[in-house]
């Protein structure tokens, strides 16, 4: 047994070291298998990465704007250690399927900056010219998911879709959460939806939400940037871990809908300056984050995992390289959002076709 004096000295030394040390940060790596966090009794994800990569890489290679780009497909779509290798003779990319109508639902505060940009806004017109049917469904940027779910239901009810039309809902960030609340809260309108795609969706919420909820609630009414409608003010509270995980545990998603998840994370140097504070705080948990969300929190229970995109939370859907933020983003400088969205819609249509066979 150690003498009391030596024991106390060691205890004091350890306490001093731990008290002065910075929280340990795990090293960034892609040499690990895909992972997710879900409440017990929810369905596990399905791996669809191989076919999605085939489609994305073919579209990237065929696009004249990217044929002379340095690097390759894996600069944009990360390959983790458990992903299967590509088939040397992949199936060709099918043409657009006009039976499906896509609505893109933006995330937190997007309505407040709609005059600047909305998710995939620059890509929509080009994809429409190629035969895709896509529209934006803008929700309240500062309202709770239940409030936005009611708005989504109202919009869809008033769309008067043709009998042969099916809806595909694509949600970025909190938009994906709002869509899930819509499916559960409004089954009468949700029956027209055949697929939901989460793009860097805040499915489990974010550890940052609780930390910043009180600050937001205190200053939001006085910040000039928040000139949009305040809604019910529940946006941040809808993204707390306790709120999201409890909701997922208590609510079963409709079996009639197919679910897909596209995850984003990247190295710190690729995070734009406005998100680096968030990245550093999340890196204490895991450096595989996009500046606002951990990668393991972006997957819908039971969804088909499309892949891991090498970019930050905003660069994934917004053309930041064309703004003043461009100097803060090292790679990828010209992210192929249009190609990514096209690959998502093609993949989803292909899966839905198989379901109908």
> Mean pLDDT of all residues in the chain?
84
241 is a domain residue: yes
Count of the separate structural domains present in the chain: 1
* pLDDT > 70? residue 17: no
Residue 112 and residue 50: Cα distance in Å, rounded? 37
- For residues 261 and 142, which has the higher predicted lDDT (pLDDT)? 261
**Structural domain that includes position 153:** 43-356
21 is a domain residue: no
CATH number at residue 295: 3.40.50.1820
| Phi and psi torsions of 55, nearest 5° | -65, -50
152 is a domain residue: yes
118 is a domain residue: yes
| Phi and psi torsions of 144, nearest 5° | -70, 165
| pLDDT tens digit sequence for 124-152 | 989 999 999 999 999 988 899 999 999 99
pLDDT at 19: 45
In this structure, what token pair is assigned to residue 274?
């406005």
8 is a domain residue: no
* pLDDT > 90? residue 13: no
Cβ burial 274-301 (10 Å sphere, 16+ → b, else e): ebbebbebbbeebbbbbbbbbbbbbbbb
90 is a domain residue: yes
* pLDDT > 70? residue 12: no
Q: Work out the average pLDDT over 148-176.
A: 93
Neighbours of 227 (CB within 10 A): 10
10 is a domain residue: no
| pLDDT tens digit sequence for 191-227 | 999 999 999 999 999 999 887 766 565 545 455 555 5
Taking the model in full, what pTM does it have? 0.88
Residue 336 and residue 341: Cα distance in Å, rounded? 9
262 is a domain residue: yes
Calculate what percentage of the chain has a pLDDT beyond 90.
55
């Amino acid at each position: 047994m150690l003498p009391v004096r030596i024991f106390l000295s060691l205890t004091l030394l350890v306490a001093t070291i731990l008290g002065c040390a910075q929280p340990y940060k795990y090293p960034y790596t892609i040499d690990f298998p895909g992972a997710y966090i879900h409440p017990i009794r929810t369905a596990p994800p399905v791996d669809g990465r191989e076919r999605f990569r085939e489609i994305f890489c073919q579209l990237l290679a065929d696009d004249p704007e990217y044929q002379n780009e340095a690097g390759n497909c894996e600069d944009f779509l990360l390959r983790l250690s458990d992903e299967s290798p590509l088939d040397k003779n992949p199936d060709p990319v099918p043409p657009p399927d006009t039976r499906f109508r896509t609505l893109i639902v933006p995330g937190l505060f997007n309505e407040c900056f709609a005059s600047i940009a909305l998710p995939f806004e620059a890509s929509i017109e080009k994809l429409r010219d190629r035969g895709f049917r896509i529209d934006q469904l803008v929700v309240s940027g500062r309202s709770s998911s239940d409030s936005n779910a009611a708005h989504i239901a109202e919009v869809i009810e008033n769309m008067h879709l043709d009998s042969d039309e099916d809806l595909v809902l694509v949600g970025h960030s909190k938009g994906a959460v709002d869509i899930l609340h819509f499916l559960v809260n409004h089954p009468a309108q949700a029956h027209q939806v055949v697929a939901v795609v989460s793009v860097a969706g805040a499915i489990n919420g974010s550890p940052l939400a609780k930390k910043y909820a009180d600050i937001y609630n205190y200053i939001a009414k006085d910040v000039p940037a928040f000139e949009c409608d305040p809604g019910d003010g529940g946006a941040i509270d809808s993204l707390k871990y306790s709120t999201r995980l409890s909701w997922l545990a208590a609510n079963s998603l409709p079996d009639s809908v197919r679910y897909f998840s596209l995850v984003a994370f990247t190295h710190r140097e690729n995070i734009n300056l406005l998100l680096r504070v968030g990245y550093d705080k999340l890196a204490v948990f895991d450096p595989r984050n996009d500046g606002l969300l951990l990668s393991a929190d972006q997957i819908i229970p039971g969804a088909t995992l499309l892949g891991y995109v090498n970019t930050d939370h905003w660069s994934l859907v917004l053309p930041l390289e064309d703004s003043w933020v461009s100097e803060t983003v090292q790679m990828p400088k010209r992210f192929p959002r249009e190609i990514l969205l096209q690959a998502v819609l093609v993949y989803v249509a292909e899966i839905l076709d198989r379901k109908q066979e």
